[in-house]
Amino acid sequence: MLDQNIAREVLACAVSTGGDFAEIFMEDRIDHSILMRSGRIETVNTGRLHGAGVRVFSGTNAVYVHTNDTSREGLMNCARQAASAVRGGKGCILTPFKAFDAARPEEILLLPTDVKAALKVEKVRAADAAARRVSSEIVQVNVNYLDHVQDVLIANTEGVFVTDRRVRTRLSASAVASSGTENQTGSDNPGASMGFEIFDSRVDPEKVGETAAHQAVTMLHAPVCPAGVMPVVIDNGFGGVIFHEACGHSLEATSVAFGLSEFSGRLGQQVASKCVTAIDEGVTPNEWGSLHVDDEGTPTTHLTLIKDGVLMNYMIDKLGGRRMNMAPTGSGRRQSYAFAPTSRMRNTFIAPGHDDEAEMIATMGDGLYAKKMGGGSVNPATGEFNFAVNEGYLVKDGKIAHPVRGASLIGKGSQVLMKIDRVGRDLQQAQGMCGSMSGSVPTNVGQPMIRVQDMTVGGR
Amino acid sequence: MDMNLFIDKLLEAAREAGLTSAEVYCAEGSSFRARAMEGEIKDYQVSSSSGLNLRGVWEGRMGYASTQAYDEAAIAQLIEGVKESASLTEAEEQDEIFAGEKEYPVLEKKESDIASVSAQEKLDACLAIEKAALEADSRVWKVQGASVSTMSSKTILRNSYGLNLTSEGSLCLAYASAIAKDGESAGTGMGLGCFGRFDALDPQKIGREAAQEAVSHLNGSSVPAGEYRVIFRNDAMCDLLGTFEGIFSAENAQQKLSLLAGREGEKIAAEAVTLMDDPLLPGGLATSAFDAEGSASRTKAVIDKGVLTTLLHSRKTARKQGVSTTGNASRAGYTSPVRVAPTNFFFQPGEKDLQQLISDMGEGLVITDLAGLHAGANPTSGDFSLLSKGYLVKDGKVCGAVEQITVAGNFYQVLKNIRAVGSDLLFPGSSTGSPSVDAGVLNVAGK
C-alpha cells in the first residue's frame, strides 16, 4: 500500500517540529451492501473508502490530520500540517521498520469481493421469506446484508510497519408486526469476521428472519411493562450489553485517563460482586470484534478486566497509555482513517459462572426476565446507563407470566455490578456496533444469564 | 485529478458504457477541531475529504456505486458497480434521474470569516471556553472537553442531462461539557453554540452555560414512580423530534413503517402544534436551494395547527402516491441511496417562554436530558422509555434536580397531548429545532 521510503519521509516530516511520536494510518476498504424491503431488492451498493491520516504526539497531546489524497505529496501535506500544530516538544529518532504482515489469510475462506452479488441476494431472500412465513401480522420485513474488506497499513516512528486485512460479513433482519393501529418491531443481526463462508457454519438466514418476526409478533400481543424497582434476570447473548454500557465504557482509557470515570484509580479494588469476572479480548479467530493488530499497529490481547469482582485492567490505547503511564492493551480502534483512534472495546463479556439458570428465575419472586436486550448508552462521568429491553417477560412468583413491551433498564454502573447475585454457565456472544469518539466499530457483547437483585425498570 | 474533470470523464464513460442516464453526487468537506483540557490543547484534528457516488439507469433500473479514489480504475469500478447493482435491483417504483427545474430559489449569500480565521484563534477560543467553565462556579470539577470545530462543505450534483448544481456552506461549532462535584454527587452539563461566523462565538457564554447546567444537576434524586406533567426543555424536545422525524416520511409510510400513512388532512396533533420543514431558512444547517434529486427546495408546514397537511416526499414517493415532490429527497452521506428526510425541521414557536410554561404547569417535571434515544425509542411504534434528567417543579417553580428516572410514552400520543409550545426555539447544532414543549402527562419510573 505504501512504500517504506515514503513512510519514513512522512514520519520524519511529522516529527520535525518536536513531536515525539508519529504514525501513518492508511486504509483502502470495499463495502458491499444489499437492502431488501417489501419483498424486493431495493438497493445494491458498492463503495470504496480510501484515505490516510497522520498523527503526531507531543507528550500527552495529539494532532491528527487526514485526507483522501494518499500520494506522497498528499501525505507530506498532512505531515506538514500536523507538524505545524506541534511546538517545542522533545522530538524523536525514527526506529528502523520491522515490517510484518498481521493478517492470517487462511481464516477467510470465501473473500466477499470474490463472491457474486447474486449469491448474496439469495441469502437476503431466504431471510425475508422466512420472516414473512411466521405470521400474517408481519407487515414489513427489512433485510440488510453487509460485507467489507478493509486493508490497512500502520507505520510509526517506533519501527512498526504492518499491514492487516479485516473481513466482516453480517446479515440483519428487522420485522414489523402490526394490528393496524399499533406497530411492534423485532430484529436479529448476526455477523462475524468471516467471508461468505459465514453462511456455511454460523449464520442461517432463515433463522435470522424467523427470530426477528417472532419477536415482533410476541411484542405486538404484549401489554406495556409496569414501571418500578424489581429483580431482573438478563438472558445470555446480547444481554451482555448491560456490562458494555454499565461498565465497559467506563473502563476505557478515554474516560479513565483524566480521572473522569467512576472506576478511575480503583485497580485492585472490589468493584463488582464476587461472582463477576469480565473479559475484553481481540484474539479469538473470526469473532466480530477481533483484530490481528489494533488500529495503532499493536497486537491485540486477551484482557481480564474484572476477576472475581476485583478490577484488574483498563482498556488502553497509545495516547491513553501516555496519559495514564500504562502500557497499551491493543485496544486502539477507529471507524476509518477519518477518525483518530482511541481506546475501545473488542469482544467484551462476563465469563461463565456456576449458577443454575432455572433456579435463578424460580427464586426471583416477582420481577422482569429480559430475554432480548436492545442498545443503550452511558455517561461515564456519572456512571448512569440505560438500555432497552426488546423482548421482556414479567415474572410472577418465580414463574414466567407473560411478555411485556416498552421496558427499559436504568442504573449506575458501579451499583448494578455489586448487585449481580447470580451468573449462569452458558456464555453466548452477540454482535453490535459501538459508537464513541473514534466512530462506530464492530464489537461483541456477551454473558451467561445473570440476575440483578434490583434495578429500576422504566415502563408505563 | 480535479473533481469537475473527473466527473466529466465519468459521465462520458457512463454514456459510452450504455447507461441510459447518470447522475453524480459529490460531497467535499474540510474540517478543523481542537479540544482543550486542563489548560492544554489535548486533541487537534484537521481533515479534508471527499466522496462521490454515481447512480445511473442500466436496462431500465437504477444502480449505485461510490468511491473516494479518483483515478481511471475508479471510473471502471463505478460503472461496473452501477451495472451490477442495477441488474439485481427490483424496486417496484423505478427511480429516475431528474433533468432539473427551470428555476431554483436564490439563497441569500452570507459572508463568512470561517475560512480565514487562524488555527491559533480557534485554539485560544477552546482554552477560553474551558477557563470560563472552571471559573463560573467553584463546584465545577473538570471540563471533559472544551472544543471548537469549523467545517466547510460543498455538494455537487451533476447529471447526463447537463444539470450542474452546487451548494456550499460553512459553520463553527463550539461546545463544552463540564462535570460538577459536590461531595458524592456529580452532575454533568453541556454548553453549545453553532454559528455561521467565527466572530459570533462567545467562549464565555458557552463555558458558563456548561458550568451552570452541570451545577444545576447536582444532588439530584429520583422521584416516586407515577404519572407526571412533563415539560421537555427545547434541547430535549429537539432530541425527541429528531428521533421520531422518520414518521413524517412518505417513504416510511409507504413501507408501513409509519402510522401516519394515508392520514393527510387529519388532525394528528394538538391545535398548538405547527411543524415546519424549511430548506430556505437563513443560516439553517440543512439550507439548500435543491434536494438530493435536484428538485427545487420549498418551505411547508407539515403539521398546520394540528392538521397533517403532507408527508415528506421525494420524486419517487410522490409518483407512487400521485402527488408532487416536496423537495425532501436526501442522502445521509455520499454512499447512501436517495431517501426522504426533513431539511430544517422545527416546531413553530409559541408565545410563552420556559419560565411561563413552568409556572403554568404548577407541578411536574422539566426534562433537560434524554439518554439512549437510539435504544429506548422505537421510531416505528412511537413508543419511548428513556433515561431522563431534569428538575422537579412545585408551585410553578423549579425546586431541585431529578435523575435516575425514565420517562415513557408514545410520540404519536405526545403530539396530541401537547398543551403549549414555548417561544424559545433552539437548533442545538443540528437542523432539527424545537422550543420547550409542555407535553402533558407522561409515565415516570423512579424509586
Place of cell 425546586: B399
Q: How far is Cα B387 from Cα B376, in angstroms, rounded to an integer?
A: 8
The residues, any chain, with a CB within 8 Å of residue A247's CB and separated by 6 or more, are A263, A271, A272, A278, A305, A306, A413, A417
Q: Tell me the chain B residues in contact with residue A225 when contact means C-beta distances shorter than 8 Å.
A: 385
Give the pLDDT confidence of B424-437 residue by residue, as tens digits.
999 998 999 999 99
Q: Tell me the chain B residues in contact with residue A178 when contact means C-beta distances shorter than 8 Å.
A: 256
Which range among A103-117, A380-394, B46-60, B194-208 shows the weakest confidence by mean pLDDT? A103-117
Pick the closest to residue B247 from B263, B231, B228, B236 (CA basis).
Answer: B263
CA distance B280 to chain A (A): 30
Q: Tell me the chain A residues in contact with residue B144 when contact means C-beta distances shorter than 8 Å.
A: 258, 260, 381
Nearest residue, CB atoms, A40 vs list B37, B92, B446: B92
DSSP A355: -
- Asked if A108 contacts A196 with a C-beta cutoff of 8 angstroms, the reply is no
Give the pLDDT confidence of B302-323 residue by residue, as tens digits.
999 999 999 999 999 999 999 9
B27 and A CB contact within 8 Å: no
Q: Tell me the chain B residues in contact with residue A47 when contact means C-beta distances shorter than 8 Å.
A: 65-67, 335
* Residue A79: alpha-carbon gap to chain centroid: 31
- Backbone phi and psi for residue A268, each to the nearest 5 degrees, phi listed first: 85, -5
Torsion of CA B283, B285, B289, B291, to 10 degrees: -170
- Backbone phi and psi for residue B237, each to the nearest 5 degrees, phi listed first: -65, -35
Which of B93 and A290 is assigned the larger pLDDT? A290
**Is residue B92 classed exposed, middle or buried when 0-12, 13-18 and 19+ CB atoms within 10 A define those classes?**
exposed
Question: According to the model, what pLDDT value does residue B409 have?
Answer: 94
Give the pLDDT confidence of A400-426 residue by residue, as tens digits.
999 998 889 999 888 999 999 999 999
Give the pLDDT confidence of A192-203 residue by residue, as tens digits.
999 999 999 999
- Backbone phi and psi for residue B395, each to the nearest 5 degrees, phi listed first: 50, 40
Question: According to the model, what pLDDT value does residue A387 have?
Answer: 85
The residues, any chain, with a CB within 8 Å of residue A265's CB and separated by 6 or more, are A259
Please provide the DSSP assignment of B249-302 as one string. BHHHHHTT--TTTT-TTSB-S-TT--EEE-TT-TT-TT--SB-TTSPBP--EEE
Q: How far is Cα B405 from Cα B368, in angstroms, rounded to an integer?
A: 12
Give the pLDDT confidence of B101-139 residue by residue, as tens digits.
999 999 987 788 998 999 999 999 999 999 999 999 999
The residues, any chain, with a CB within 8 Å of residue B251's CB and separated by 6 or more, are B314, B316, B317, B339, B340
Helix (H, G, I), strand (E, B) or coil at B326: coil
Place of cell 422466512: A130
Q: How far is Cα A290 from Cα B308, in angstroms, rounded to an integer?
A: 48
Question: According to the model, what pLDDT value does residue A103 have?
Answer: 65
Q: Which residues lie across from B217 on neighbouring strands?
A: none
CB–CB contact B381 A183 (8 Å): yes
Instruction: Report domain extents, chain B.
Output: 226-242+349-445
CA torsion sign for A11, A14, A17, A20 is negative
Q: How far is Cα B242 from Cα B278, in angstroms, rounded to an integer?
A: 15
Pick the closest to residue B153 from B27, B252, B273 (CA basis).
Answer: B27
**Residues 91-150, chain A: which have Cβ within 8 Å of B?**
117-118, 121, 139-140
Report the residue count for chain B: 447
Helix (H, G, I), strand (E, B) or coil at B160: coil
**Is B91 a residue whose pLDDT tops 80?**
no
Domains, in order of start, for chain A: 4-220 (3.30.2290.10), 228-458 (no CATH)
Which of B24 and A382 is assigned the larger pLDDT? B24
- Asked if B281 contacts B287 with a C-beta cutoff of 8 angstroms, the reply is yes
**Is A87 a residue whose pLDDT tops 60?**
yes
B92 and A CB contact within 8 Å: yes
- Backbone phi and psi for residue A286, each to the nearest 5 degrees, phi listed first: 70, 0
Question: According to the model, what pLDDT value does residue B268 have?
Answer: 98
Which range among A179-183, A313-317, A445-449, B24-28 shows the weakest confidence by mean pLDDT? A179-183
Give the pLDDT confidence of A33-54 residue by residue, as tens digits.
999 998 999 889 999 999 999 9
- Asked if A24 contacts A82 with a C-beta cutoff of 8 angstroms, the reply is no
Buried b (16+ CB within 10 A) or exposed e, A390-421: bbbbbbeeeeeeebbbbbbbbbbbbebbbbbb
Give the pLDDT confidence of B337-361 residue by residue, as tens digits.
899 999 999 999 999 999 999 999 9
Mean residue pLDDT of chain A comes to 94
Q: Which three cell numbers stand for residue A153?
A: 497499513
Angle CA(A452)–CA(A454)–CA(A460) in degrees, nearest 5? 115
Question: According to the model, what pLDDT value does residue A106 have?
Answer: 59
Question: According to the model, what pLDDT value does residue B103 have?
Answer: 95
Helix (H, G, I), strand (E, B) or coil at A162: strand
CB–CB contact B43 A51 (8 Å): no
DSSP A259: T
Question: According to the model, what pLDDT value does residue A105 have?
Answer: 56
Question: According to the model, what pLDDT value does residue A38 have?
Answer: 86
- Asked if B31 contacts B151 with a C-beta cutoff of 8 angstroms, the reply is yes
Average the pLDDT over A165-184 and give the result.
Answer: 93
Q: Tell me the chain A residues in contact with residue B259 when contact means C-beta distances shorter than 8 Å.
A: 181-183
- Identify the band that residue A372 occupies on the pLDDT scale cut at 50, 70 and 90: very high
Average the pLDDT over A117-132 and give the result.
Answer: 97
Question: According to the model, what pLDDT value does residue A262 have?
Answer: 87
Characterise B327 by phi-psi region: left (phi > 0), alpha (psi -120 to 50), beta (else). Answer: left
Which range among A382-386, B32-36, B84-88 shows the weakest confidence by mean pLDDT? A382-386
B90 and A CB contact within 8 Å: yes
